């Protein structure tokens, strides 16, 4: 082999490596810029008053976003109650019966559902729910729940599929019935993965605005009634940021900061869970 | 007849159209160690997994004939009952990674939701771990996860888990093929101890192991039970030419 151009080839390798390192570094920049900007604009708005009061009318000083905090919490909570059992059970089915026709088609549907634009889900819920019971937190929860489903299903499925089949055989060979094998062995062993899927799905839907626009509508007052319009964090940002008043813009920045911190926190918790609770196989 | 614990009568097993176990007739006595050997794909593992009906877990797998356990056909019995009565140890140690050593031993009770008092559990754990020659090594770390043990220890933990259910019969599917030589000898030494209380059927790929540990040996070839005889007889003067060829290493 002719090694006369080894130096040239070596420098090509170094160049290539520098390029990929550069781009790996580059992708962190947008996040850092967004973070810094929102922290700069938003952090000063956040104080106890901001977290415990409803927005004030134009011209009045102060006001907060407690209605949005409570509304988002309620809607995400109700969405989780509806979506998690369905999502986890469906995920179990898909991981257990990956070769069946039903698994193929329902897996396909999950993928398509994941790709459906959130505004489309909003409009469907508008026709199904809002036209029967009116603009309400419940309608918003249903829309968010549907958005959670694909993430929960796929993460459950993928987590459980990674478990070795020998684990199931060990339990079955002890005479443990199938449902107990799933509930007592398979699900606990995949618990960290399932939980992180749940966290990520919450992080995903908490910032969804489109499906809430014409379902939960928004509400300038604190409301905990699921059957009445409800405010949410992303909607409060949208609503106040597009208004022409400066104090309202500040409110929107403050809400953005809270939302961002929340999503960040969820992602960090997810990382910690997967690292700490991961079961050594 | 009293002494027979398992008896297969014209047992056949398939994977889809693939006929992997053909008309096997065999009768196994209590407190015997039986080695089942044969080349890869000869049906020995399928036959073993047929005894506690693990075979049928594989999609498309079917079985016909009789396997009599205490003169009851396991193919007609409730599968959960069959598997609880027959212990099984697998090729790779598979302790439950979410359970401690202690919980792993009593896993058969825990997972089945059988209520056992703490005192009884303590007794079962100590007895089973003592029988599997693991007690002295783990008695101070019973509440650590079982997956922190070495491979050989994990395999003995799996044996303890099988023993804890008080089976009459324990099936071993190539139990030492994933273990190092030292762990292998510790597991083999166990077979001699276990024989006094249980009947053992050991599928092995390793002829020396079959010769070392078993009282009688069954030789499977192409899905048929070719020969079943005293281990000594089998390895010194086999009746069938195919057995002769196998043990002299003409094929493997």
Dump the DSSP string for A156-219: HHHHHHTS-HHHHHHHHHTT--HHHIIIIIIHHHTHHHHHHHHHHHHHHHHT--HHHHTTT---
Token pair of A249 as six digits: 């813009």
pLDDT range class, residue A104, cuts 50, 70, 90: very high
Region B236-241: what's the mean pLDDT? 90
- Which pLDDT does position A280 carry in this prediction? 65
Q: Which two tokens stand for residue B63?
A: 């079985």
ipTM greater than 0.85 = yes
| B59 and A CB contact within 8 Å | yes
Pairing of strands B86-89, B72-73: unpaired
Q: What is the mean pLDDT of residues B177-193?
A: 88
Between chain A and chain B, the number of residue pairs with CB atoms below 8 A apart is 79
Closest CB to B147 among A99, A176, A281: A281
Residues 154-183 on B with a CB inside 8 Å of A are 158, 161-162, 165
Which pLDDT does position B1 carry in this prediction? 46
A217 contacts A232 by C-beta, under 8 angstroms: no
Average pLDDT of A115-121? Answer: 94
How many residues are present in chain B? 252
Q: Which of residues 89-128 of B touch A (CB under 8 A)?
A: 90, 92, 94-98, 107-108, 110-113
The 3-state DSSP class for residue A55 equals strand
User: B251 falls in which pLDDT band (50, 70, 90)?
Assistant: confident
Are B96 and A167 inside 8 Å of each other by CB?
A: yes
pLDDT band at A61 (very low <50, low <70, confident <90, very high): confident
The answer to whether B111 contacts A279, with C-beta atoms less than 8 Å apart, is: no
Domains within chain A, CATH numbers bracketed:
68-230 (1.10.3720.10)
Per-residue pLDDT at A247: 85
Mean predicted confidence (pLDDT) in A272-278: 81
A chain contacts of residue B96, beta-carbon cutoff 8 Å: 167, 170-171, 185, 189
Query: Cα distance from A39 to chain B (closest Cα, Å)?
Result: 41
Q: What is the mean pLDDT of residues B115-122?
A: 93
Q: Is the pTM of this model over 0.90?
A: no
Average model confidence (pLDDT) for chain A? Answer: 91
- Angle (deg, nearest 10), helices A137-161 and A118-125: 130
Topology of domain B29-45+78-247 in CATH is Rossmann fold (3.40.50)
How much is the average pLDDT of B82-86? 91
Name the interface residues of A facing B (CB cutoff 8 Å): 99, 164, 166-167, 169-177, 180-181, 184-185, 188-189, 191, 279-281
What is the residue extent of each domain of chain B?
A: 29-45+78-247
Q: A-chain residues within 8 Å CB-CB of B87?
A: 173
Kindly indicate the confidence band of residue A66, based on its pLDDT and cuts at 50, 70 and 90. Answer: very high
Report the share of chain B in percent with pLDDT over 90.
65
Closest by Cβ to B165, choosing from A167, A174, A281: A174
Per-residue confidence band for B140, with pLDDT thresholds at 50, 70 and 90: very high
Q: Which of A77-91, B73-87, B164-178, B224-238 has the highest mean pLDDT?
A: A77-91
Band (pLDDT 50/70/90 cuts) for residue A1 is low
Of the candidate ranges A35-39, A73-77, A243-247, B11-15, the one whose mean pLDDT is the lowest: A243-247
User: What residues does B68 pair with on adjacent strands?
Assistant: B7, B73
Chain A residues with beta carbon closer than 8 angstroms to that of B94: 164, 166-167, 169-170
- Higher-pLDDT residue of B179 and A143 is A143
Residues B112, A176: C-beta atoms closer than 8 Å = yes
Proportion of chain A above pLDDT 70, given as a percent: 98
């Amino acid at each position: 082999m002719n090694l006369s151009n080894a130096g040239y080839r070596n420098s090509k390798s170094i160049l290539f490596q520098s390029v990929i390192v550069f781009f790996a570094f580059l992708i962190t920049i947008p996040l850092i810029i967004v973070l810094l900007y929102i922290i700069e604009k938003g952090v000063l708005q956040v104080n106890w008053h901001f977290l415990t009061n409803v927005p004030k009318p134009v011209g009045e000083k102060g006001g907060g976003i407690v209605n949005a905090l409570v509304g988002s919490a309620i809607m995400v909570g109700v969405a989780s109650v509806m979506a998690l059992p369905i999502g986890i059970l469906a995920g179990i089915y898909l991981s257990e019966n990956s070769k069946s026709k039903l698994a193929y088609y329902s897996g396909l549907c999950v993928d398509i559902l994941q790709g459906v634009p959130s505004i489309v889900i909003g409009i469907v819920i508008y026709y199904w729910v809002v036209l029967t019971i009116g603009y309400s937190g419940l309608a918003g929860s249903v829309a968010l729940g549907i958005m959670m489903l694909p993430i929960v299903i796929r993460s459950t499925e993928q987590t459980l599929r990674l478990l070795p089949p020998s684990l199931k055989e060990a339990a079955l060979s002890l005479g443990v019935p199938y449902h107990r094998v799933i509930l007592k062995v398979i699900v606990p062993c995949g618990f960290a993965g399932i939980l992180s899927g749940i966290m990520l799905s919450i992080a995903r839907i908490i910032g969804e605005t489109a499906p809430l626009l014409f379902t939960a509508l928004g509400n300038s007052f604190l409301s905990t009634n699921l059957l009445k319009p409800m405010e949410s964090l992303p909607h409060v940002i949208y609503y106040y940021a597009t208004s022409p008043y400066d104090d309202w813009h500040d409110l929107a920045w403050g809400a953005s900061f809270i939302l961002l911190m929340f999503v960040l926190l969820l992602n960090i918790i997810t990382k910690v869970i997967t690292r700490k609770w991961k079961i050594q196989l | 007849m009293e002494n027979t614990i398992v008896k297969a009568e014209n047992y056949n097993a398939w994977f889809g159209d693939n006929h992997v176990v053909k008309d096997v007739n065999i009768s196994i006595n209590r407190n015997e160690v039986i080695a089942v050997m044969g080349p890869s794909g000869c049906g020995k593992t399928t036959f073993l997994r047929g005894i506690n009906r693990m075979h049928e877990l594989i999609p498309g797998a079917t079985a016909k004939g009789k396997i009599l356990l205490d003169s009851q056909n396991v193919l007609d019995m409730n599968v959960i009952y069959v598997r609880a009565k027959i212990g099984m140890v697998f090729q790779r140690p598979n302790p439950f990674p979410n359970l401690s050593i202690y919980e792993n031993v009593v896993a058969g009770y825990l997972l089945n939701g059988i209520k056992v008092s703490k005192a009884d559990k303590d007794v079962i754990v100590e007895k089973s771990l003592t029988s599997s020659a693991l007690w002295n090594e783990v008695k101070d770390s019973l509440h650590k996860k079982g997956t922190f043990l070495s491979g050989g220890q994990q395999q003995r933990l799996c044996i303890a888990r099988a023993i804890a259910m008080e089976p009459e019969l324990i099936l071993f599917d190539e139990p030492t093929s994933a273990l190092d030589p030292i762990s292998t000898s510790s597991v083999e030494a166990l077979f001699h101890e276990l024989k006094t209380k249980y009947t053992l059927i050991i599928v092995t790929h390793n002829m020396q192991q079959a010769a070392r540990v078993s009282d009688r040996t069954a030789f499977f070839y192409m899905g048929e039970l070719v020969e079943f005889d005293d281990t000594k007889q089998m390895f010194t003067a086999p009746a069938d030419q195919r057995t002769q060829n196998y043990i002299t290493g003409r094929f493997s």
